[in-house]
Each structure stands twice: as structure tokens, then as C-alpha cells.
Amino acid sequence: MRRDPIGAAVRLLRWQAVARRGGTLEPAWVDGPAGTVRLRLRRGLSSATACWYAGLTDPAEMGFVLQALRPGDRMADVGANVGVYAALAAGAAGARVLALEPAAETLPDLRAMLALNGIADRVEVHAIAAGAAPGTLRFTTGRGTTNRAAADGGTEVPVATLDALAAGAPPVLLKVDVEGGEPEVLAGAAGLLSGGALKAAILETAGPTDAAIEAAMRAAGFAPFAYDPLRRALAPRDGPARPNTLYLRDIPFWTARIATAPAIRVFGRAL
């Protein structure tokens, strides 16, 4: 989105004043064709607070969600955290969302974000992790947005495959942010990757698993792209980006979607 340093500074000062008192904010954030999305801010919600400062913390990826999805589309949000992506997809774009969040400490804030925006009926929440096979895993606690699978310690959480969770209602867009567990999620989504319904994926690519992610996506017919939401322009990439990569197939489908995207406003400014 367009830079707004003055607006960001004003928002920073406003939040600091509220946070010092231990208060909360629920400001209007994004206006889209399906409605206005509000942020829910309190101390400790770093992903939501970052959006309050920056508008869209992942401009390319969030811009793609806002401009490419349409009412009735389905998105799977694996590692939903406090729900900023789910709220954009369901509240602003009008899509239906399958949201997976295994961290018990985060679930109340995720549900509160959905309730604040009146979209709980459009977002199906599962307190579960996605993996290569059903079972359980150990999951860290107390790390906020960076909780992840752990070899020991933490708490035990259930695991299901994305193929099983999305059976009968495959998403057109998949977003995965699970702090290095992306290859396991993709291994449990072989049916989605080989089917035709899934046409885009936003994957965290910020570490040693990038090569495995790239190989899995290329094998399924996806290629990495850069996206400029201001120009509504896609451009091929040679490989993964940092910290996320947008993988696409059926490029004419997305080109048509982007070209006809409705107006989006972030903090009152056109995207």
C-alpha cells in the first residue's frame, strides 16, 4: 500500500497512550466489497499491532487476498494466529475461510477478532495443527506469533491433514504460516495440490525448508510470483522470496480476477 508516515506516527502515539493504560482498541482497518474489517488491539497481539502501524504488514500477500478473492470463494488459513488474514478474506472480500490454529493461548483472540467483525459464520475454526499424517505433536507455548512444533516440552495438540479437513470444500487459496512446518502441511495436502480447485498459495519461506517447499509446489504445477497491489501486476520469480512466497497456477484466472478487483481502502486510503 502507499506509504503514510504521518498516519503511522499518529497511530503509534495513539496506541502507546492506550497500551500504557492496559486498554484495547478496535479501530476500522480495511474497507472492502463485503464490509469493513476492524482490528482488535491489546498488549501482546504483535501481528494485529503491526497492522495498526503499517496498514498491511505483508502488502503483496494481503493485497492479493483482498484483490483476488470474491464472495463465495474458499480460503484455508493454516496458522491463523489472531485472524488478520482470515478477517481480510472473510470480512473484506466475502470469502469463506477454514482457519487452523493449535495454540490454545491464541484461540480466544482469534475468536474475538471474528466476533468483532461479525464473520464467525464465515470462518470455520479448528484448534488443530495440519501435518503430513493424523496424530499429535508437541507445540510451544508463550511465544505469541512464533509458537511452533517442538521436539519436547510445550503442550500436545492434535494433527490432521489438510486433505481431510478440506474434503468436499477445497479452497482456491491456501495460506500457510507455521514457522518451518510448511513441508509437512504440504505433504498432507497432496490431494489439494493435485486437484484443480486450489490455484494459489501464500507460504512462509524464511528458512532451510524453502527448497522442499519450492520442489513440492513446482511438482504440482505452481510457480512463484511477485505481486504489486498498487499496479495490480503479477511478475514471475526465479524462486522463493522472503519472508513469504506467492505460488500460482492458472495464471489467466488470477489475471482476470485482479483486473476486475473492486476498490479497497486501508485506513481510508486507496490500496
Listed by start position, the domains of the chain span: 58-262
Number of H helices, E strands in the chain: 10, 16
Distance CA 164, CA 187 (A): 12
> For residue 141, what pLDDT is reported?
74
> For residue 209, what pLDDT is reported?
96
Distance CA 153, CA 108 (A): 22
The share of the chain scoring above pLDDT 70, in percent, equals 96
Helix (H) or strand (E) holding 156: strand 155-160
> For residue 144, what pLDDT is reported?
63
E-assigned strand segments in 39-166: 74-78, 96-100, 123-126, 129-130, 135-139, 149-150, 155-160
What does R_g of the chain's alpha carbons equal in angstroms? 18
pTM: 0.95
> For residue 139, what pLDDT is reported?
84
Q: What angle do CA 183, 46, 9 make, to 5 degrees?
A: 130
Contacts of 139 (CB under 8 A, 6+ apart): 102, 103, 129, 147, 148, 149, 150, 154, 155, 156, 157
List, in sequence order, every residue forming a beta bridge with 78; answer none if it has no partner: 100, 176
> For residue 68, what pLDDT is reported?
99
Q: Which fold has domain 58-262?
A: Rossmann fold (3.40.50)
Residue-wise pLDDT tens digits, 137-164: 988 777 665 666 766 778 899 999 999 9
Point out the residues of the chain with pLDDT beneath 50.
none
Residue-wise pLDDT tens digits, 35-76: 999 999 999 999 999 999 999 999 999 999 999 999 999 999
Q: Which residue has the cell 475454526?
A: 125
